[in-house]
Structure 1
């Protein structure tokens, strides 16, 4: 199988898996971004309420929050940052007590996203959180 075909298959697999529903972590959620000037991967942590179906709710109105909405007037509880994905994971999962991540699938997701962000930082390419 050619390298290009393998890359396309991997992209298709990831795109399909990104469509699945995952219950949100009651410990909160993260908005990941790059601070290129400082050479950092950053993750803003937000607390959230989660309904019975696993969707985030606005803490004051009780309305479901959209993953696409960036202007939900929530205030980040903490901003984590690191120069590498590993540094950020150690800070978040090993050094922060209590750890704000309470679901294994959320921890795995964050590790993948931090690595994607690190690659984008190294390559100077755009990073968009999945």
Structure 2
């Protein structure tokens, strides 16, 4: 049986999830990851998308627990969105654990010990 081998590639454009979007940050004082879920708002009268309304706030200390909560609450409809969230939440967990700075959609900078 022949198995297809694919070269991994990135999506060239982002496709919005009709369910909504998330902002992720690390609250160092509370020692937790905070995820805000914004429900997708309908387009305005001019046809342009408007910013969503805050629908839920999730707090936790592990990417796994937050991912399970997002899945259980059915907050995503797209696989690419779910995989993106998994990557970002794992970066946030590493930042929390090792006291690093975390900014969503940016590279997590890990400085070697001197």
TM-score range, shorter chain: 0.7 to 0.9
The offset of 1:64, in angstroms, is 4.3
Contact 1:82 1:88 in 2 (8 A): yes
Compute the TM-score of the two structures, normalised by the length of structure 1.
Answer: 0.64
Structure 2 length normalisation: TM-score? 0.73
* Aligned counterpart, 2:108: none
Check conservation: 1:32, 1:129, Cα contact below 8 A: yes
Report if the CA contact (8 A) 1:48-1:59 is conserved. Answer: no
The equivalent of 2:33 in structure 1 is 41
Q: Does 1:63 align with 2:48?
A: yes
- 1:20 offset after TM fit, Å? 2.7
Normalized per residue, which structure has more helix? 1
The offset of 1:75, in angstroms, is: 3.4
**Where do 4+ consecutive residues of structure 1 move more than 2 Å?**
57-65
How many pairs were matched up? 97
The match for 2:64 is 86
- How far off its partner does 1:59 sit? 5.3
1:31 paired with 2:23, answer yes
Change (3 A) 1:28 1:122: same
SS of 2:53's equivalent in the other structure is coil
Distance in 2 between residues matched to 1:60 and 1:32, nearest whole Å = 30
Q: State the structure with more CA Rg.
A: 2
Give structure 2 stretches of 5+ with no counterpart. Answer: 1-8, 106-114
Match among 109, 114, 126 for residue 84 of structure 2? 109
CA RMSD of aligned residues (A): 2.3
